[in-house]
Structure 1
Amino acid sequence: MNTVIFTLLLLVSGNVLGQEKPPHIIFIVVDDLGWNDVGYNNPVFKTPTIDRLAGSGVKLLNYYVASHCLPSRNMLMTGRHAIQLGIQRHGFGYHPRSLPLDETTIAQPLKQVGYSTHIIGKWHCGFYSDNCLPHNRGFDTFFGFVGAGIEHYTHSDHFNHMHNLRKNDDCIAKQYIGKYSTTIYANEGKNIINAHDQNKPFFLYLSFSAVHTPLEVPSSYLKQYESTIYDEDRRTYAAMTSCVDEAIANITEALEEKDMLKNSIIVFTSDNGGAVERSAGSNWPLRGGKHTIWEGGVKAVGFVYGELLPHHSRGTENTGLMHITDWFPTLVTLAGANPHVGKKLYGVDQWKMVTGEGKSRRDDVLIELVKDNKASTRYRTGIFKNHPFDITTRAAMKMGKWKLLTGPIGGASDWVKPKEMNSEHSVIEDPDFDATRMVRLYNIEDDPTETTDLSEINHHIVAEMLAKLHNFSKETLLGQSRIFPRANFDGMGECISPWV
């Protein structure tokens, strides 16, 4: 890159933050973390580092992601909505499909303005060819796994039990068997930080495999919950969260020792709501969980921390509407790079909102729209049965205080109390829930737990939101199909690897 252009880009970044150097960016994702699974939302959970960073930073209270991990992570990578990528529903699995190779990842514009770029942990943006892997898509280094989940001690693929831990192109799983994934990732993060050339800005995407199943954790983390959580799965889950918290503490300490923390922005997020059916996550008091479009599935725990934040914004709770795609333009712009070098973004730059110096640039957000996921019965009754938007289509969107859901919700539609001591574990069912009902409207400001459907008395609001969904539907790519041939496992060697 031309030296003059590079210098100008650094000055742009410095002007955004009122300083000369572009910020180091540490982006942390915890897999399947529920709304109720951090200490500042649930004091039974011991997450002192997360609580401290969130309490000294900006908590995002109106922040939305996808209902499961694959669309969330690919939207984060590109700033583009799942409907623009064709990855709304099915996982990539072991078929030749991925985040399309003509999409720009967040690491690419950062690298262009001089950033050192690293990913540790879960990739989940495809791996059928070498071109899909993160170290060939803008990241300098990759230490982690390519699929949806792994065993935390054996580092084998969660679904077919082949080894699934690599460093760039090398399979390294065998040398880490018996060592816990969260600890391994933290140690690798510390090594990268310690080796970093401080003359360069630094981007670390730290994507934990915890607290995703299987529920496994070193026994030392369980002791602090022996007298507070009786349920074994919930106790293990809480201990996994505490282990993640300690890993984040180790990363922040390494940044501080390297004199990098004062010039760092740390972003923390979950990729979707807690898995209440298949795991031990909790989104209480929100309704539903992972794989549903209720708030418990799509409203994420998230915050921003950093000494570069204006003093007036530190320790605040921000209620501005934000979407996971917004991180791409927000952070790329903050770094002094141009986020608009590829295709049309869905994300918008929200830095002024985060810092309290402006309002959200969103009036609405499309949470989910899956054209090939429709109700099993063509149930179209009432005033909206002939609307141009097919109300049997699974979709969710937020507009101001309103949230609209159409089609099948997915998963359980209950409120699930956590299994902590002094709280009876119980499922609270909605006696009025009708699975054949295709349109639901909630006032999330007054009714954040989605108890009262107001669609019958707010036809004009529903009509306005359905019109928006119809417009989005016209722009939607159909989901990638199950392309064949499937993976050639015999030719992969020791690790899950590209096969095309």
Structure 2
Amino acid sequence: MKRKLNILLLLLAVQLFAQKQPNIVLIMADDMGFSDIGCYGGEIKTPNLDKLAENGVRFTQFYNNARCCPTRAALLTGLYPHQVGVGGMVGHGYGDLNNKCVTIAEALKTNGYATYMTGKWHVADSNTNDDIHNWPIQRGFDKFYGTIKGVGSYFDPYTLTNNNENVKLKPDDKFYYTDAISDSTVTFLDKHFKQKANKPFFFYVAYTAPHWPLHALEKDIAKYEGVFDKGWDVLREERLVRMKKMGIIPKNTKLSQRDFRATEWNSVENKEWEIQRMKTYAAQIDNMDQGIGRIIDKLKKEGEFENTLIIFLSDNGGCAETLQGVEKWVSEKEVTVTLKGKKVTPGNVSNLMSGPATTYMSYGESWANLSNTPYRKFKKSGHEGGVATPFIMHWPKKLKKKNVLKKDVASIIDVLPTIVDISNTSYPLSYNGNKIQPMEGLSLMPVFKGENLNRDEWFMEHGSNKAYRKGNWKVAWSKDKDGKKWELFNLKKDPTEQIDVAVKYPKRLSEMKARWFEWGKRVKVVKK
């Protein structure tokens, strides 16, 4: 009798474990190009992300919304950003996450999940405590440590917040924001396992790395001595070869021409300064990867790694912004001196080396062109260089195969439906008395079963940049030096959008433009 009881208890325990809801860790990088990390062909040392890719799934045609705010709004809600009030940039008196949507955290809380966030929020119009109705705690998160605003110094970030309270740093804190995001994530996890071990959790880790300013620790910058000395032209060619060999891009892919805003490497006079900028950028990503490693180690230590879905992606392509005019903005909105009282010199000043808190730089068009290899254009654009993102999913308990390259088209609006699906959460029709819009995205759950997705269309719009893909055909609105126009591409024959075939296929162009405007009216991109 006792033996039968033990067997029954064992079977019950196995059944309960099998039914245990998964934990979810959603990690986002900021302004990181398609091919920067190692497992997508880049030179930057990312062993932890590479390991997740090796034992998980990498998407090769996953799309974001080309810029910080709209991507984050779509990520959190499973809707197009215009539907949730964040079609443009927040912080200018418009662009505020509305009450016609639910965030992932709000949805999962209805299903018993503990919800945490660290890092960059950037979907609320208000950056001050005068109005916190759209801050993370008010949008479903139990705990939050990070910044409300979209950009800031890594050594003294603007709007640093703990839950709803401002955080004031001291000179002796030895603060570095990327480390702070990673370490606070581990701290939150530690408290969760001590206090709420019986509950599943959702964790949104929103790094600001490697968004400008180029701020990094000396120890991380030192790792990249000599790595970028060949310059962006040679490195783009080398990345192309690696990416083809890895299967990230098709064998017929041709490297896009150097962008007209980029410079030929051989003509660069101050190469040491340029190399330092890319070394700093690489160090920012390197430090983020180190932090992801600490998060993974914590999950393993607590025995929850196997039952945790980890997702990693970037919010848009590499950023070509040169920070012209940033001096006035930094002086008025951010920092004029470091925590230790030293003057901050904003802008891409060629007689200063990037990295320390006293600088405030970006890496510019030419390095961004490398980041987006093999594609053309940058952040904000509907072309592949603006909207293509690395996307990794890792879930040992459910993935049937490892080291999978998934070539199906998927989108940022698919993240919430996937999380709702795998957690067996009911998507609410109403929330806090407000009617909620139906999800626009698709669940990526078929990927875990080795099946294909059913997406045939993808749309985007931001700042007048437009794009629409149907099958292998894509239209994109171009604002190049040659004028504003719709371009048409066959991505199967021309993955890097080098050959505009709009004149050759006018009917297809017309039909696809009409379809984009039909979508635009429905989701309130354009007025009816």
Normalising by the residue count of structure 2, what TM-score does the alignment of the two structures yield?
A: 0.74
CA contact 1:210–1:241 (8 Å) conserved in 2: yes
Q: Which amino acid aligns with 2:373?
A: W
**C-alpha separation between the residues in 2 aligned to 1:303 and 1:35?**
12
**C-alpha separation between the residues in 2 aligned to 1:83 and 1:94?**
16
The equivalent residue for 1:76 is: 75
Q: Is the aligned partner of 1:335 residue 2:423?
A: yes
- Give the C-alpha shift of residue 457 in structure 1: 1.8
The equivalent residue for 2:442 is: 348
**C-alpha separation between the residues in 2 aligned to 1:87 and 1:96?**
8
The equivalent residue for 2:503 is: 456
Go from structure 1 to structure 2 and tell me whether the alpha carbon gap of 1:302 and 1:247 turns closer, same or farther (over 3 Å shift): same
Q: Which amino acid aligns with 2:457?
A: D
The equivalent residue for 1:5 is: none
- Give the C-alpha shift of residue 54 in structure 1: 1.1
**C-alpha separation between the residues in 1 aligned to 2:450 and 2:36?**
30
**C-alpha separation between the residues in 1 aligned to 2:305 and 2:226?**
36
CA contact 2:473–2:491 (8 Å) conserved in 1: yes
Counterpart of 1:249 (choices 269, 272, 293) is 293
CA contact 1:122–1:145 (8 Å) conserved in 2: yes
Deviation digits for residues 294-346 of structure 1 (CA, Å, limit 9, x no counterpart): 1010011111012123322x210001111101101111121110235321222
**C-alpha separation between the residues in 1 aligned to 2:450 and 2:41?**
30
Q: Is the aligned partner of 1:363 residue 2:456?
A: yes
- Give the C-alpha shift of residue 95 in structure 1: 2.5
Deviation digits for residues 438-493 of structure 1 (CA, Å, limit 9, x no counterpart): 2211111221111101112223322331221121122142599xxxxxxxxxxxxx
The equivalent residue for 1:145 is: 147
SS in 2 for 1:237: helix
Go from structure 1 to structure 2 and tell me whether the alpha carbon gap of 1:442 and 1:68 turns closer, same or farther (over 3 Å shift): same
SS in 2 for 1:217: coil
Q: How many residues align?
A: 410
Q: Is the aligned partner of 1:193 residue 2:189?
A: yes
CA contact 1:127–1:133 (8 Å) conserved in 2: no
SS in 1 for 2:18: coil
CA contact 2:316–2:388 (8 Å) conserved in 1: yes
**C-alpha separation between the residues in 1 aligned to 2:113 and 2:526?**
33
Higher mean C-alpha displacement, 254-263 vs 357-366: 357-366
Deviation digits for residues 102-123 of structure 1 (CA, Å, limit 9, x no counterpart): 4211111101111000010000
**C-alpha separation between the residues in 1 aligned to 2:34 and 2:157?**
27
CA contact 2:66–2:462 (8 Å) conserved in 1: no
Q: Is the aligned partner of 1:315 residue 2:403?
A: yes
Q: Which amino acid aligns with 1:359?
A: N
Higher mean C-alpha displacement, 259-268 vs 170-179: 170-179
Deviation digits for residues 423-446 of structure 1 (CA, Å, limit 9, x no counterpart): xxxxxxxxxx7324x221111122
CA contact 1:27–1:266 (8 Å) conserved in 2: yes
CA contact 1:193–1:258 (8 Å) conserved in 2: no
Go from structure 1 to structure 2 and tell me whether the alpha carbon gap of 1:243 and 1:311 turns closer, same or farther (over 3 Å shift): same
Counterpart of 1:434 (choices 482, 488, 495) is 482
SS in 2 for 1:174: coil
Q: Which amino acid aligns with 2:493?
A: D
**C-alpha separation between the residues in 2 aligned to 1:71 and 1:344?**
18
**C-alpha separation between the residues in 1 aligned to 2:315 and 2:503?**
33
**C-alpha separation between the residues in 2 aligned to 1:478 and 1:468?**
13
**C-alpha separation between the residues in 1 aligned to 2:54 and 2:510?**
40
When you count helix as a share of all residues, which structure comes out higher?
A: 2
**C-alpha separation between the residues in 2 aligned to 1:264 and 1:183?**
22
- Give the C-alpha shift of residue 171 in structure 1: 1.4
Task: Write the mapping of 1:296-311 to structure 2, written as runs, cut at 5 A.
Answer: 296-311=385-400
- Segments of 5+ residues of structure 2 without an aligned counterpart are 1-13, 230-274, 323-361, 430-435
**C-alpha separation between the residues in 1 aligned to 2:17 and 2:507?**
45
- Give the C-alpha shift of residue 168 in structure 1: 0.7
The equivalent residue for 1:59 is: 58
SS in 1 for 2:286: helix
- Segments of 5+ residues of structure 1 without an aligned counterpart are 1-13, 157-163, 374-393, 414-432, 481-500
- Give the C-alpha shift of residue 96 in structure 1: 6.2
Q: Which amino acid aligns with 1:457?
A: K
Normalising by the residue count of structure 1, what TM-score does the alignment of the two structures yield?
A: 0.78
CA contact 1:286–1:296 (8 Å) conserved in 2: yes
SS in 2 for 1:118: strand
CA contact 1:320–1:359 (8 Å) conserved in 2: yes
SS in 1 for 2:518: helix
The equivalent residue for 1:465 is: 512
Go from structure 1 to structure 2 and tell me whether the alpha carbon gap of 1:310 and 1:473 turns closer, same or farther (over 3 Å shift): closer
SS in 1 for 2:39: coil
